[in-house]
Amino acid sequence: MKLFRFLLSFAAACGGVIPASAAAAAGATAPAPETSAAREITDLRRELARHDRIYHRESAAEISDAEYDRLRQRLAELERDRTVAASSVETAAVIGDDRTGRFPTRGHRERMLSLDKVYAEPDLRAFHRRVTTALGRGDVAYVIEPKYDGLALSLTYERGELVRALTRGNGREGEEVTANALRIVGLPRKLAGGLVPDVMEVRGEVYVPLATFSEVNAAREAAGEARFATPRNLAAGTLRQADADAVAQRGLRFVAFGVGACEPAAVLPETQRAWPARFQAWGFSAIAETWTARGLDELVRAVAACGRTRGVLPFPTDGAVVKVDALAAQRELGASETAPRWAVAYKFAPEQVETRLLAIRFQVGRTGVLTPVAELVPVSLGGTKIARATLHNLSEITRRDLRIGDTVVLEKAGDVIPAIAGVNRSLRPAEAPPFPRPIACPSCYARVGPGDSDGSIRCPNRECPAQIRRRLEHFASRAAVEIAGLGPVMIETLVAEGWVKEVADLYRLSRAELLTLGHDHAKSVDRLLAAIRQSKQTEVWRVIHGLGLPQVGAAKAKELARQYGTLVAFAEHGASRVPALAEAHYQMLVADLIALGVGSAPPPVEAKWAGKTFALTGTLPTLSRAQVTAKIEAMGGKVSGSVSRNTHYVVAGDDPGTKLERAHKLDLPVIDEAELRRMLDEP
Ligand code: IVH
C-alpha cells in the first residue's frame, strides 16, 4: 500500500503518467531497460533544475513542495540503484541558485551548503549508520530542530557591527540585500554581550510567521491583489524587492541557527544544543523548540515528536533538521560538495486522505471560463472538513482520467488549498465511464467552444446569467467599486428579474421596480439605491479594476489610473496598454459609465510617508534642520523631537547626541543625509 501511495502521488507529480521504471518496480510491466532509467534520471534532473530555477529566482512555484520532494526522492532512488556520475546540472540543482540579478553579488567567506534530505525512517537509519561508522562509535548524540520554511540569509558582523546581508546565491556568492535585511524585525545591527568575534557570518532563515502570512493575504485580498501561495513565497519575494519599507510592513523575521566563518572561533560553543542560548545572548531570535536524542531509537522518536508539533508551531515548517550535537564530531564528519555529513533534513510527508468523488460541477467565471469543481464525500484533512476541491481546468480531469465514483487522494501541504493528488485506480467502480467533456454552459446552456490551448473552455455568451452575476459581484466588491449591501443574493435577484445585464445597469435601477420585490423592503431598497448613487464618486482605479478587464488587477488598475488620470482618457488611449479595452462591449460599457457619472472622484494625493516618524540628530552636511523637516513633512511624514520605539528612521549627521545611542539600543534604522535624499527621490 505504501508503494502504491507513493506511485500514486508520484504519478500525480508527473502529470498522471507513471514512468516505466517506477511502474516496473510495482510489478506492473517487465523490468525497464537500462536506457530508460538513465533517460528518466536525465529527465528528472532537467525537470528539477527547471523547478529550482522558478523556486529560487522567481520566488514562486509551479508544483507543491510535496510534489517537488517526490520528484527529488525518485531521482535519489534511481541514482542509488545505478552509479551515475554526478553532473554539473545535478550539483547546481541540489545547491540551488537564488540569484535574481537585481542586487550586486558578493562572495561568502565560508560556503553556504544545503542539507541532504530524507523522507522516511529507513533513510534516517541509513544516516545514523553513516554517522556512527565514520565516527567509529554507536551512541551519537543528536539535536533535532524544526526546519523553518523560508530562505537562507548570511549576516556578516565585523567587530560586532552588521556590515552585510547576503542571500545564499549559488552557495559561493550571494546577493547583497543589506538595506532590506535591516528592516527585519528583531535583527540585531550590533551584537550584544561580551563574546564578540572580529568577524562572523551568522546563518539563519528569513521567514514570515503564519499569523502574519494570513494577515498579509487578507489585506491583499481586500485590495484585490493576488494572494501569496505560501509563507515562503511571501518572505522570498519581499526580501528581494527594492522597497525596504515593505520588509518591515510585511513582518519578516530572522531566526539564527548556525555560523559560517568565525574569527576567532573560540567564541563558539562546543555543542549544537548550546547554540540557541549563545545566539540569544548576541541579540538574535534563536530556535526555541529543540529535541535531543542519543542513538537511533531516540532519534526516530524525537523526529516523530517534532513532526507532531506541525500545525501548532507559529511559523512555517516543512520538516525536522537532525544535527550531530558535538561540534568536534561535526568537524570530523565534514561535508560533501553540497551538504554537511553531520546533518540531514527529514521532510514530513504531506497529509493525505482518501475520499470518493461524487460529482464534477462547472463554475462559470466572470469571463465565461468554466472551472471544474470536484464534489467529494466530506472528510477531515489537516483539521478542516473538506467537501470540495477545485480542479484547475478540463485537462486536469483528462490527464488524471478522473471518473465519478473514483476514490481520490486528497492532499494538503502547508497552507495550500487541498488538492486532488491522485486516483486510487484499484477502487474504481467497474462501470465508471470516462468523464465527458461538457458541451454546454451549465448556466445558460450555450454551446461551449473547443477549448483554449491551456485546456480551458468558455461559455461564449456575454449575457449568460452566471457571467453577469460574477461581473456584478466583482464590480461591487470591496476590492473594486465597493457597493455596500449589494451581495450575491441581491445580485442573483437583479439578474433573475432581468433588470441588470451590465454593471452600468445598476445606475439605472428604479425604486418602483425594486419595490415590486415587496413593500416591506422599502428601507433596504433605499439604502441600496443610496449606496449605488454614492459609488459614482469612487476613485478612477476602482472603476478600472471593476471593469474586469483580463490581466488587470488592483495594482495594474492603480498604475493605469495614475497614467491616464480620468476614465475618459483611459477609454480613449488605454487600449495601447490593455488591448481588450478596444473590444466593442468594453468600449460601450466605459462610455456608459462615464455618461452616468461613475468614477468622478478627483485622484487622491498620495502622501508617501504618511504615518512615518523621523528623528534628527547631529549636523547634516548640507541641509539645515528646518530644511529637512520641511522635506519630510512635504511627503506626509512627521519629525519628532525624541527617539522611541515608534520612530521609523533616525537621520544622523556629525556629532550626534544620545538619540543615536538610543536608536541603536532600539534597533532602529539609522540613515545619513545621502540616504534620506535617495529616499526622497524614490518614486
Ligand atoms: S542548518 C549547512 N537548521 O534549510 C547547512 N538549516 O535545506 C546547515 N533551514 O540552507 C543548515 N531550518 O536555509 C539548518 N533548523 C535549521 C533550518 C535550516 C531551515 C534551511 C536552511 C538551509 C536549508 C537546507
- Which structural domains are found in the chain, ordered by start? 20-95 (1.10.287.610), 116-347 (3.30.470.30), 352-458 (2.40.50.140), 465-595 (1.10.150.20), 613-679 (3.40.50.10190)
Is the separation of the CB atoms in 212 and 251 below 8 Å?
yes
* Protein residue with its CA nearest to atom 22 in ligand 1: 114
Q: Is the CB of 319 under 6 A from ligand 1?
A: no
pLDDT in tens, 326-369: 999 999 999 998 999 999 999 988 778 999 999 999 999 988 99
CA–CA–CA angle 33, 34, 37 (5° rounding): 95
Least confident of 220-229, 275-284, 404-413, 452-461: 220-229
Amino acid at 557: A
Please choose from 321, 323, 341 the residue to mutate so as to test ligand 1's pocket, defined by most ligand atoms within 8 A of CB: 321
Please choose from 56, 112, 116, 147 the residue to mutate so as to test ligand 1's pocket, defined by most ligand atoms within 8 A of CB: 147
Beta strands in 536-646 (DSSP E): 613-617, 638-640
CA atoms lying within 13 Å on the CB side of residue 299: 29
pTM: 0.61
User: Mean pLDDT score of the chain, rounded to an integer?
Assistant: 85
Please choose from 113, 205, 323 the residue to mutate so as to test ligand 1's pocket, defined by most ligand atoms within 8 A of CB: 205
Q: What mean pLDDT comes out for the span 222-230? A: 74
The pLDDT > 90 percentage for the chain reads 54
Q: Is the pLDDT of residue 417 over 80?
A: no
Q: How confident is the model at residue 370 (pLDDT cuts 50, 70, 90)?
A: very high
Question: What's the pLDDT at 2?
Answer: 38
Q: Is the pLDDT of residue 147 over 60?
A: yes
Q: Is the pLDDT of residue 542 over 60?
A: yes
* Cell numbers given for 519: 413593500
Least confident of 495-499, 552-556, 604-608: 604-608
CB atoms within 10 A of CB 511: 11
Q: Is the CB of 321 under 6 A from ligand 1?
A: yes
Q: Is the CB of 44 under 6 A from ligand 1?
A: no
* Protein residue with its CA nearest to atom 17 in ligand 1: 147
Question: What's the pLDDT at 598?
Answer: 94
User: Residue 604: what are its φ and ψ, rounded to 5°?
Assistant: -75, 150
Cis peptide before 209 (omega within 30 of 0): no
pLDDT in tens, 403-416: 999 999 998 765 55
Question: What's the pLDDT at 293?
Answer: 97
Q: How confident is the model at residue 418 (pLDDT cuts 50, 70, 90)?
A: confident
* Cell numbers given for 429: 467502480
Q: Is the CB of 322 under 6 A from ligand 1?
A: no
Question: What's the pLDDT at 28?
Answer: 33
Catalytic annotation, residues: 147
Query: Is pLDDT larger for residue 403 or for residue 80?
Result: 403
Residue 620 neighbours by CB under 8 Å, 6+ apart: 628, 651, 653, 654, 672, 673
Helix axis angle for 295-308 and 121-135, nearest 10°, is: 140
- Among residues 493, 532, 372, 514, the alpha carbon closest in space to that of 442 is found at 372
Q: Is the CB of 145 under 6 A from ligand 1?
A: yes
The pLDDT > 70 percentage for the chain reads 89
Query: Is pLDDT larger for residue 109 or for residue 214?
Result: 109
Cα of 94 from ligand 1 centre, angstroms: 13
Looking from the CA of residue 168, the nearest atom of ligand 1 is 10
Question: What's the pLDDT at 94?
Answer: 56
SS3 at position 654: strand
Q: Is the CB of 345 under 6 A from ligand 1?
A: yes
CA atoms lying within 13 Å on the CB side of residue 259: 25
Q: Is the CB of 148 under 6 A from ligand 1?
A: yes
Residue 534 neighbours by CB under 8 Å, 6+ apart: none
Sequential DSSP letters for 275-295:
HHHHHHHHT-EE----EEEEH
Residue 264 neighbours by CB under 8 Å, 6+ apart: 197, 198
Question: What's the pLDDT at 314?
Answer: 87
